[in-house]
Chain A
């Protein structure tokens, strides 16, 4: 509250000057202002007149003297607690001296790389190296590629589509001929697209042609945001071509049967299995087996179509993010391990079609049905397919044209 009757040169006239006890004057203390709490949230401000032994202070607010706990004390306590917490947080991640590796991968490989990293670490230590720190990041293939382009320091990328790694190469992070550096088009494992249907296959779905029957709802992620969905789309395209149908028309009709377009493969699996939407899920083979395993074989059946695609999820070393020779050695060792019989056995175990079954459990290999697989080269390669089918205004966009 301001007192309008007081003259402007207020400080000189305030009575406390005359009432400062001699003790504090002898300390030659300067006038210190303080805020004190009186009761609850009631506070008062004024110059300190007297400090008490118990920490309270007496202030003069111009009219009367008040005694209470200074707020700065409480504040100081909070602040130092805050600073301590910050320090603790900052100090928590202890610096690791061993080499580290970041593998940026796509969505459905979570389980595979959890096992692979463990096995690789054991192998690497057995080879006489220090235990490395291996981290994996998962997400949609396209957004993972973008994160690497934008500066995520991945030494190794293991994505769903070669075209995503091509984009990283275009940004100058690895050489354009990266796909020739490792065997099998740099794909240590392959997969294909199968159908997951509800137990007993109530709609009688046998092949791609059954998907466009009346009353069938198909679940697939959005090919614009999901690498897996692009394979779904291409598999449908390949079937239509082989069966003398107009592929563009068939794929258009197929996507008219899709009630929910999730942004990623995992999202679609959830929509189909947990939310009970749709009659058939177009899924990665490994994702379909995983759903069977996790959710019980009595709920879903896998239907293998006559034609599907040979999906080759490639891996590559990101040269620009390698910081030392040791790290290069580790990253190369990691990628080569994917091709080793042990690594391949793990890929088989996680329902990927590997190349080398020598160490794999026979039942892991035997469960893959034989079917007619079409690879990306027969579509003309990603460099052609990507803009033609999935680019802005491409064939996929033309499906969703308002009538």
Chain B
């Protein structure tokens, strides 16, 4: 007797939970993106290309993605370190620090942007120090970089943290008894185990940074070709009631983001195949 193609799952509630999941995903994610693509489709690929293929749009897209990538990379290193410190060491104020990591999630981005600007503007506390050595932070690309680090910080730390908690001390001890140096243990034992989670966090931080508008707009300076981010161009097109052009830039961002996330996922698949699941 042949086996049926689909087994009824022994777990209860598949139909119901699947139904709710699909409805929610459609309402919240698929429909808006579908509407965006539909808008773009009515505009036509030639129209989209004409909107996007301009010096100013390319400059903004390049700026947005380059700074997002740099900020996510910074967060990758810093976030792993932060998670390591929070999990592995016991020190006074650890729980407060742990809670503070989530603050960028909770704070309205406009508030974050304004307070960062107040700090890093030439007359702010940190900005005054920086301008003492001739380094301008607010209203330059550095400002955007700082804001993007802020909004993306929790992603890497929070995805890596549970994985570090799972790693048993004995693994490191075994590595040490077998004669590995500390650096060797970190490079060949710890980091490979963290890599998949860290990459996931990196992808999340990157995706968040690319779309960030609220906090960046206050600290960026918004000068075309220099500090103008792609989401601002979309807002400008909307201000002109130019919905087609706004959708075109939106689609361009979506495609680039999709390509980047795909690349990250492929790296993840590759790293899993190399070192196995953790």
Contacts and interface: CB of A to CB of B under 8 A. Distances in A.
B249 to A, nearest CB: 12
A333 B266 CA distance: 64
Interface string B219-244: 00111110000001001111111100
B118 interface: yes
Contact of A263 (B56, B139, B232): B232
B63 interface: no
A391 B236 CA distance: 10
Interface stretch (A73-81, A175-183, A274-282): A274-282
Contacts of A402: 55-56, 59, 225
A391 B97 CA distance: 49
A259 B121 CA distance: 13
Contacts of A142: 239-241
Contacts of A277: 121-122, 139
Contacts of B222: 222, 260-263
A259 B136 CA distance: 12
A248 interface: no
Contact of B223 (A224, A258, A267, A276): A258
A167 B241 CA distance: 8
Interface of A is mostly: loop
A266 to B, nearest CB: 11
B221 A260 contact: yes
Interface in B49-77: 55-56, 59
A279 to B, nearest CB: 13
A140 interface: yes
B235 A276 contact: no
B121 A225 contact: no
A222 B225 contact: no
Contacts of B55: 401-402
Band of interface residues on A:
20 to 34
Contacts of A5: none
A142 B139 CA distance: 24
Contact of B236 (A146, A149, A225, A260): A225
B56 A275 contact: no
B139 A260 contact: yes
Interface residues of B, number: 28
B245 A392 contact: yes
Nearest to B241: A167
B218 A267 contact: yes
B117 interface: yes
A397 B237 CA distance: 12
Given A259-B221, A267-B218, A277-B139, A143 B241 contact: no
Given A274-B118, A276-B122, A402-B55, A143 B225 contact: no
Contact of A225 (B117, B218, B239): B239
Contacts of B245: 392
A276 B241 contact: no
Contacts of B235: 143, 225, 263
A46 to B, nearest CB: 16
Given A259-B139, A400-B56, A400-B224, A275 B121 contact: yes
A65 to B, nearest CB: 24
A390 interface: yes
B140 to A, nearest CB: 10
A149 B238 CA distance: 12
Contacts of B59: 402
B47 interface: no
A62 to B, nearest CB: 16
A263 B217 contact: yes
B121 A276 contact: yes
Nearest to A274: B118
A352 B123 CA distance: 32
Contacts of A267: 218
Given A263-B235, A275-B138, A402-B55, A391 B221 contact: no
B46 to A, nearest CB: 16
Nearest to B55: A402
A225 B241 CA distance: 11
Interface in B198-227: 217-218, 221-225
Interface string A320-345: 00000000000000000000000000
Contacts of B192: none
A143 B139 contact: no
A149 B218 CA distance: 27
A263 B223 CA distance: 11
A390 B240 contact: yes
A2 B100 CA distance: 41
A224 B239 contact: yes
Contact of B238 (A143, A259, A275): A143
19 contacts: A140-B239, A142-B240, A142-B241, A146-B238, A224-B240, A259-B221, A261-B221, A262-B222, A263-B217, A263-B235, A275-B117, A275-B118, A276-B122, A276-B123, A277-B122, A390-B240, A392-B240, A400-B225, A402-B56
Sorted from nearest, which 3 A-B pairs have the closest CB atoms?
A400-B224, A276-B123, A275-B121
Given A261-B222, A400-B225, A402-B55, 4 more contacts: A140-B239, A224-B236, A224-B240, A259-B223
Interface of B: 55-56, 59, 117-118, 121-124, 138-139, 217-218, 221-225, 232, 235-242, 245
Interface of A: 140, 142-143, 146, 149, 167, 222, 224-225, 258-263, 267, 274-277, 390-392, 397, 400-402
